[in-house]
Structure 1
Amino acid sequence: MFNMFDLFDKENQDQCRNILNSLQKDINELLQKVDDKFNEIVVSLSQGNNIKLADINYLNNSEIQEELAKQIALLQRLFEYIAKIQKKKRKNLAECVILQSKVNSAKVALSFLLIGKTRKIIFAKNIRYSIEYYLNRRSSWGFINNFFQQAVREWSAPTKVLLGLAMALPIYTIAVPGSLFVAGLLTIATHVDFKTPLPSSNVPQIQNRVEKPQPTETQLFFQRYTMVLVSALAGTFGSIISILLRLKQYRESAYKGLAAPILVGFAKPLIGTAFGILVFTIISSNIISTIQVPKASQEADKTDIEYYFFFSIAFVVGFSERLADDIIQRAESTFLPETANKLKEAGEEFQSSAKDIHAAGEEFQSSAKDIQLAAEDLKQTAANESSQTNK
């Protein structure tokens, strides 16, 4: 019985080996068929033979050429995968049969393209997609690759946008708040002031003088951190709501087969987060004097009003890019005059320094002339004294 099993396995291995060798020959023949098709047109044109203008226009079509190039690249992938299987000691007959079916399908798709009867190549494309999905499943991370390829090719544009939002969800719910928290902790760690404790005898006197408790550094940090986090999340939510309300704008014809809706859904909430934090810092630093936090009638309501104010303004900024552009332009108009004044002052100081240098140069030239005259007088005096001595 064991010998019969070995004999059966040997027959399967031989059959699989023959199938793989035959597939390699078929792929080479297909590639040669494409080459012959182009050579036929080139030779006919060079010899002046009659050739259908439709054939030339068909092969000159960019969409046809692109699909032919992808089909040829797919045949090369199949050839490499077949060579990889041939190196295995034990080959799976079922996999060899499936490969035979895939190569035959590729042969049908390529023959359909080379006939040149129609420019609607969806038939050849769908066959290529099926073979690509099969080869991707045989590689590492093939499931993820197939998932994104199918999403880009087959899903509707609104669904792609929602996929982008889902992909960015861990970033703007975990990574952004976590990074802000770590940055704040590092800020506290670098600003902690270790002071010598006061004597216990002075503590009652100091406590009597204090009217209300002052917030600690940790309390101030968590208050600032919460404010920044509220602004960031409000900007994110504003962008998400804006995308969901504008899903109808992503028409199927404009985004079919493109990954742009996925990128929009992924990146726009992050942009809203950045805008929310930017607007919070601009308003808190009083760069724009026209936008101020509303004043509270009572001190206890001040923090609540700040939360509501920054959440509202950050949400609107994330929802509408126009408001963000307006705030940024106002900030630029605030910076630019100050920069121009500083450059003007620096230019005036440079001109004043140049005048001083010029005046110093003139004084140096005058001093040099005086020294030269004094040297000539000294020389003349020495000559006169020498002549009197000779007499």
Structure 2
Amino acid sequence: MTVVLPPEVFDAILDWVPAPEWDREAWDPKAAGVDILVCAMVCRAWLPRARHLAFSSIRYRCSYDEHPSQDPLAAILAHPLCTFRDHVRDFHLIGHGADHYCGLSWSCVPLLQQLTRLRLEDQWVGGHRDFDCLMAPPFGEKIDTLEMYHCGFSLPGQLLPLISRCRRLRSLALRQLLLPGWYDEYPVTEAPLDCAVPAGLEELVISYDIPMTSMSTLLRWFSPSSVGVTRIHRLDLVTIFSKTAPDSAHLVHLAELSLSSLALGFINSSDSSDAADAFCAATDFSTLTRLEVIEFRIYGLKRSRTDRHLQVQHIPSVLRSLRSEKTRIVRLYLNFMTEPEDLLVLDFEAIAASLSRDNYRNLEQFVVSPFQDSILSDSSRMQRLLDELLGSRLKGTLQTVCSP
């Protein structure tokens, strides 16, 4: 007797088969997960699910050709017989910065009508023609995750309309953006603020090397008119300048009713103006009653300026000020530590005293994480140092994890 299994059983089996990671510059079929491609050729019944799994995520590098006539992937996607176009959900487009023209590759994006996650890396939008190519309909209709890393925009009116076009956006990450039209010598009012912020935005990351004036403009654009309007529950502001501290504090205040995860990091622009001082003076941490995760990123420890740094002056006081009984995780990321004694710059006795309060009785993890190139990247060595500084209650929650 022949037994016919439901198609859902085969779908569940295929879901466990490794899928390829497409990279036009370096793709090894054996290492990329060729098994799912073999499954696609077993029978017609397996083809739709196997094709969906094989092409749901594509990582694509733009061509090095300085004078391309067309983009190969865009030509394939535009062909009427293309069979995988509607299966792509995650598209990672990698360029080569301002030195290479990648505008033709952007024409791939509007062709992917089922796209829900878009990642742009090392891309440069050179003018109106490039921007119009990227924004061609139906771009943005289903995108819920947008990430931009080391991208540049030649005109100040390009970034915010691009974000606003993604009306279903839930997660946005902006890292190392180059926005030359928003430098300090230009009036901030030149940046367009009339575009609507996606109403469903829940996660916002703004970090690393974004010009100060641009940061202020972005923060003001993301700030609604009243408390409770924003739905942001994860907020990463790990490069706060002295001049952007008030806008950062205002955004935290507006998100306080929904905020469950907050990451903070500070860049001191001068010896006399401390970003951490300005931010903490303007922020009432006691109102963050739903906060579950608090993260501090500490940059450039210098013992000669320990009295000016967040790690000495503010971390214990911030932890004391928090009144959320839901706090489960406290993280310290330590960057550029050069000597073992740098660890002692952090007042762990005061930190331990703050975390011993009743509002941290649900604490599950206290994570201390140096970077791999740090002299403290030996986690066992750092664990021994911390065991001497922390009380018995915190030792049970301590984790030392080296960041890549």
User: Shorter chain as normaliser: what TM range?
Assistant: under 0.3
TM-score by length of 1: 0.21
Larger Rg: 1
The structure carrying a bigger strand percent of its residues is: 2
The structure carrying a bigger helix percent of its residues is: 1
Greater relative contact order (Cα < 8 A, sep 6+): 1
TM-score by length of 2: 0.20
